[in-house]
């Protein structure tokens, strides 16, 4: 039952992506009046759905991990996630096809959540690395366990690392963070075989970054897979968005689609409402779930931003930040079944060169890494009976590059399909395509994503914690951010954490009791010993 709202409790949320919908559900359950504005005709944002004939596809994220974090959102809204969402645990979690420099068949490795079995499979590649796998897992269990309070609380200044909620974990995790090391550097202390390092470093791509540049904190990403599993929501990740929208509306939130916000209204440093659908509507608080830097540049006058924060939010400063890579996408409705696991990832035999090409933005790789999601293997609801919906992704430079996608798109499509046929063993797949859609980095940019950077701002050390756009936008009284462009970062679990942080801050400012629990991570499988970094020799 929704609490009665008071004057000063009206919230406008820009964007019905995962962060916006989670925030709407929690704030409405906390008794606030909530209105969500979505430019697209349906909810989901980057977690939207693409439909081509009888085939359905997730537009963006397909990996779903740490389901307990979404469970916390439902609990804060007085609901049980399992009453709204059906999840299937995947085993194998994914198949890796690791290319060999110089050609030849890729090395195949199926990842399983069974730690002992995974150590055995790694040991077949390199015996010493197989023995190092469990210490690697234990080290990262410790690291995540003592990082979660930092990921669950606002970071406004370096002093927040030593707040009453975080200081114990900060002191415990600091000795093992190794901020001077990259993911690849830290993995080299555990594993000597380059294929094994690839198997536990490609996850940096979840952030749109290279493991050679990504801070070593993010070795927690593969650990999260092994600790909590990889899951498929029946109906795709967009089904999570529909469930959150349902819960939000049950609590009285209003979600209006096909209504883009074109401007925020201000009185000094205070936002007083939004212009949407050609009309101005007043709000006491504004939550931005649009792409963070795009929204600042396009919805907030630069003069207002400069008055609030100097040059920190100027167009030039925002554009000069480091951004993630982008992606080229194919959504293929295929006749017949496809003999691939739910997730399969081909890693280029020229991986480091491939990554450098993406960062430099000068050329498109001749041997691109490619990811194929085959959800129909798990979930027949996404394609006609006996057919398959294939989601195909290739990381690419973002639109800061000089690549002309109107000119290059056709060649990129053929190159990606060549990889699908030759590397994934799906010869003749072109002849089986019955429906298709495509998205280029230029299309991502046209959907209001700055530089088409599908994974948001990069997660380098200069753009993390308090140096990332903050959950309550610095310099403004009542503007909040949720999504991958704010703390704690990109990926569905961290986006749901950002929604919890921002919702809690907004409720505190409004003088309303937040229905969510105080931040507290779940118990992991076992209490980790003191972390030990082993040398791979």
pLDDT digits (tens, 9 = 90+) for 184-219: 999 999 999 999 999 999 999 888 899 999 999 999
pLDDT band at 517 (very low <50, low <70, confident <90, very high): confident
Q: What is the pLDDT of residues 125-158, one digit of tens each?
A: 999 999 999 999 999 999 999 999 999 999 999 9
Pairing of strands 107-111, 94-98: antiparallel
Q: How much of the chain exceeds pLDDT 90, in percent?
A: 89
Angle at the Cα of 55 from the Cα atoms of 54 and 57, rounded to 5 degrees: 150
Mean pLDDT of 339-355: 94
Domain parsing of the chain, residue ranges: 10-87+234-320+458-510, 113-232, 326-450
Residue 7 has a pLDDT of 52
Average pLDDT over residues 266-295: 97
Closest CA to 46 of 58, 63, 35: 58
Start-end of H helices in 30-154? 67-76, 115-125, 127-145, 148-151
The stretch 47-67 carries a mean pLDDT of 97
In percent, how much of the chain has pLDDT > 70?
A: 95
Q: Which single residue is written with the structure tokens 């490795």?
A: 109
Task: Give the model's pLDDT for residue 521.
Answer: 52
Give 363's pLDDT tier (boundaries 50, 70, 90).
Answer: confident
Q: Which residues lie closer than 8 Å to 174 by C-beta, 6 or more apart?
A: none
Burial class (CB in 10 A: 0-12, 13-18, 19+), 473: buried
Looking at residues 309-326, what average pLDDT do you find? Answer: 96
Phi, psi of 412 (to 5 degrees): -65, -40
Average pLDDT over every residue of 284-290: 98
pLDDT at 102: 79
Q: Which fold has domain 10-87+234-320+458-510?
A: FAD/NAD(P)-binding domain (3.50.50)
To 10 degrees, what angle do helices 492-510 and 18-29 make? Answer: 40
The two three-digit tokens of residue 280, written as one number? 């101005």
Task: Give the confidence band of 362 by pLDDT, cuts at 50, 70, 90.
Answer: confident
Are 122 and 141 spatial neighbours (Cβ–Cβ below 8 Å)? no
Mean pLDDT of the chain: 93
Instruction: Look at strands 10-14 and 285-288 and give their pairing.
Output: parallel
Side-chain half-sphere exposure of 428, counting CA atoms within 13 A: 5
Residues 6+ apart with CB under 8 A from 385: none
* Greatest pairwise CA separation for the chain in angstroms: 68
Task: Report residue 376's pLDDT band, with 50, 70 and 90 as the boundaries.
Answer: very high
> What pLDDT is attached to residue 344?
98
Q: pLDDT tens digits, residue range 3-40?
A: 444 557 999 999 999 999 999 999 999 999 999 999 99
């Amino acid at each position: 039952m929704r609490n009665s709202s008071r004057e000063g409790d009206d919230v406008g949320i820009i964007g019905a992506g995962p962060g916006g919908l989670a925030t709407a559900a929690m704030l409405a359950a906390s008794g606030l009046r909530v209105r969500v504005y979505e430019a697209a005709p349906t909810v989901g944002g980057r977690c939207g759905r693409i439909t081509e004939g009888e085939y359905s596809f997730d537009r963006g994220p397909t990996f779903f991990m740490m389901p307990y974090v979404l469970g916390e959102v439902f609990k804060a809204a007085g609901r049980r996630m399992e009453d709204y969402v059906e999840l299937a645990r995947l085993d194998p979690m994914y198949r890796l096809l690791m290319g060999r420099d110089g050609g030849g068949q890729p090395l195949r490795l199926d990842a399983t959540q069974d730690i002992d079995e995974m150590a055995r499979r790694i040991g077949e590649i390199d015996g010493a690395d197989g023995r190092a796998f469990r210490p690697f897992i234990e080290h990262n269990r410790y690291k995540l366990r003592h990082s979660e309070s930092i990921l669950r609380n606002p970071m406004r200044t370096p002093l927040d690392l030593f707040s009453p909620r975080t200081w114990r974990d900060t002191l415990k995790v600091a000795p093992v963070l190794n901020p001077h090391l990259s993911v690849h550097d830290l993995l080299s202390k555990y594993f000597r075989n380059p294929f094994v390092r690839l198997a536990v470093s490609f996850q940096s791509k979840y952030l749109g970054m290279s493991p050679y540049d990504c801070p070593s904190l993010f070795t927690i990403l593969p650990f999260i897979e092994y600790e909590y599993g990889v899951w498929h929501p029946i109906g795709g990740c967009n089904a999570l968005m529909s469930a959150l929208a349902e819960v939000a509306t049950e609590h009285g939130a209003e979600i209006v689609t096909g209504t883009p916000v074109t401007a925020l209204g201000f009185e000094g440093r205070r936002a007083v409402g939004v212009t949407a659908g050609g009309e101005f509507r007043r709000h006491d608080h504004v939550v931005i779930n649009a792409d963070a830097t795009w929204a600042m540049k396009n919805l907030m006058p630069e003069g207002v931003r400069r008055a609030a924060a100097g040059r920190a939010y100027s167009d030039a400063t925002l554009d000069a930040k480091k951004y993630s890579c982008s992606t080229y996408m194919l959504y293929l409705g295929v006749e017949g079944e496809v003999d691939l696991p739910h997730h399969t990832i081909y890693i280029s035999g020229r991986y480091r060169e491939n990554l450098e090409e993406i960062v430099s933005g000068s050329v498109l790789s001749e041997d691109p890494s490619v990811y194929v999601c085959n959800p129909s293997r798990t979930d027949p609801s996404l394609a006609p009976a006996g057919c398959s919906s294939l989601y195909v992704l290739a990381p690419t430079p973002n639109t800061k590059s000089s690549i002309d996608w109107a000119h290059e798109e056709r060649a990129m499509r053929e190159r990606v399909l060549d990889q699908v046929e030759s590397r994934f063993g799906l010869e003749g797949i072109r002849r089986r395509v019955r429906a298709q859609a495509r998205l280029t980095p230029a299309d991502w940019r046209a959907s209001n994503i700055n530089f088409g950077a599908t994974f948001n701002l990069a997660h380098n050390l200069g753009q993390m914690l308090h140096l990332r756009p903050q959950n309550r936008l610095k310099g403004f009284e009542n503007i909040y951010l949720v999504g991958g462009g704010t703390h704690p970062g990109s990926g569905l679990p961290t986006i749901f954490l950002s929604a919890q942080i921002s919702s809690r801050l907004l409720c505190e400012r409004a003088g309303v009791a937040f229905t969510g629990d105080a931040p507290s991570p779940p118990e992991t499988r076992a209490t980790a010993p003191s972390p030990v970094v082993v040398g791979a020799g």
